[in-house]
Structure 1
Amino acid sequence: MLHVSDQQFLDAVARAKNDDDVLRWIREELQPSEAAIARMNAFIEHLEPRPEQQAHFDAMLQAADPGNTAVTRWVDLLDLEEGRLPKGSGAAT
């Protein structure tokens, strides 16, 4: 989707101090159109674990918020881990 190799992306993330640095790298180096950004955001927002990832996802969710079964998407798990979604609420966005 970004038209870069996995290694290029991993290197950029490794150099970044935070998410904003990664976003800045994407905008400066890859220069995606606003439509491409919207497509990527929509894709990421709805991304759920594949069957072969489900056990790993469930383990990460239980480590982050034991008993929470409402979170079903990767983006919500990340929000939960980073404090943008309250723990114990069981509320997914």
Structure 2
Amino acid sequence: MSRERSWQAFSTSSMDLRTSFPRSMRFKLEGYVHLARMIDKCRAVLAGTEGEYIYPCPMDFRLMEFAGITHEQFTAAVETNPTDEGVAKWFRGAAKPHQQAELDEWNETMLRRGPSTPEKQAYFNKCRDAVDPSRTDLTAWSDLQDLEEGRPVPRRSP
């Protein structure tokens, strides 16, 4: 079965990550990278269909910390709002406000974030090499996720 989904399908309350992928971390919702992906993973956990995906993961916690919310609050919001629009409305009201420049900087930091320890680097390399060992240009988790999930990832300059 193909794990491709149309973007319109993401406004439903269920998400089966055993047969599809969450949205890319790069997909912005309310101006935040990773928010849509976190919604997809949370929906899958609530439905018991998360497969190998983890919610809440370290990237999820980074977003929640930046927004000033807890994973319990976020999970409850996703559970009671079956659409992205409903979760986004809740998030707008619950997240601590940030100046656009601060949000832009945070988004870029998230997208550039790579392994922070030798052990995590070894894991990153193992995952990357399982998909495409020629992609030694990749250093960010966001690129690795897109590569693993079959999205195009441009070659990066050294």
TM-score bracket, normalised by the shorter chain, equals 0.5 to 0.7
Equivalent-residue separation in structure 2 for 1:55 and 1:69 (angstroms): 12
Aligned residues: 81
Partner of 1:4: 69
Q: Report the CA distance between 1:40 and its aligned residue.
A: 1.6
Would you say the 8 A contact 1:26–1:32 is kept in 2? no
Give the one of 125, 147, 155 matched to 1:58: 125
Following superposition, the deviation at residue 8 of structure 1 comes to 4.3
1:65 to 1:41, Cα distance in 2 relative to 1, 3 A: same
Normalization by structure 2: what TM-score? 0.40
Take 2:147 and 2:102, find their aligned partners in 1: how far apart are those partners?
26
SS for the counterpart of 1:79 is helix
1:66–1:2 CA distance, 2 compared to 1 (3 A) = same
Over the matched positions of the two proteins, sequence identity in percent amounts to 33
CA shift, 1:31, in A, is: 5.6
Answer yes or no: is 1:92 the counterpart of 2:156.
yes
Letter in 2 for 1:69: T
CA contact (8 A) 2:69 2:94 kept: no
Query: For residue 106 of structure 2, what is the amino acid of its counterpart?
Result: M
Q: 1:43 maps to what in 2?
A: 109
Q: CA RMSD in A?
A: 3.0
Q: 1:68 aligns with which of 122, 135, 155?
A: 135
